[in-house]
Structure 1
């Protein structure tokens, strides 16, 4: 599982563009620099606001902070899956 796509329940708007889906790639060690993995696992909003834009070309930190709570939960669960689902070998 190297990528997860999340369909947003409440799309974001960037200028005249509507963002309806966000694709996350599995974080590498560099993406996690300066972040506590325990904060990622606790779904700390500030930590995820730093991490998610690092692993998705689809969203900025400012846009992340505007997410609907439902979409925040779905993205958070998707990030956690990268740490809890065993990779296929």
Structure 2
């Protein structure tokens, strides 16, 4: 219905947060998840995976890190059911945080 759309969450120009709008939202309990907030992962969130695997958008590496830096925190069964385009968006957000501030500023906003 017109006029009943929910506002898209924003990260008020916070370089440590990226809000991803899912192409294919999913149901979690009573709530439809349409947006995922990705926070800059700290070193602890990256444990158990390699940076090169993340940079190559390796599915296993992305699935290991995402639950540690997303809101709502994604669980394994949700990650397994994500649309591939959404997984790429989320993985790209994580890998973008691995770049230096200078390199991130050179990237176009997508």
TM-score (norm 2): 0.73
- Which consecutive unaligned segments of at least 5 residues does structure 2 have? 1-14, 105-110
Match of 2:16?
A: 2
Give 1:28-47 correspondences, 5 Å limit.
Answer: 28-47=42-61
Aligned residues: 88
Give the whole-Å Cα distance in 1 for the aligned partners of 2:88 and 2:100: 17
Q: CA RMSD in A?
A: 1.6
TM-score (norm 1): 0.89
Higher Rg: 2
Does residue 73 in structure 1 map to residue 88 in structure 2? Answer: yes
- Which consecutive unaligned segments of at least 5 residues does structure 1 have? none
Name the structure where helix makes up a greater proportion of residues.
1
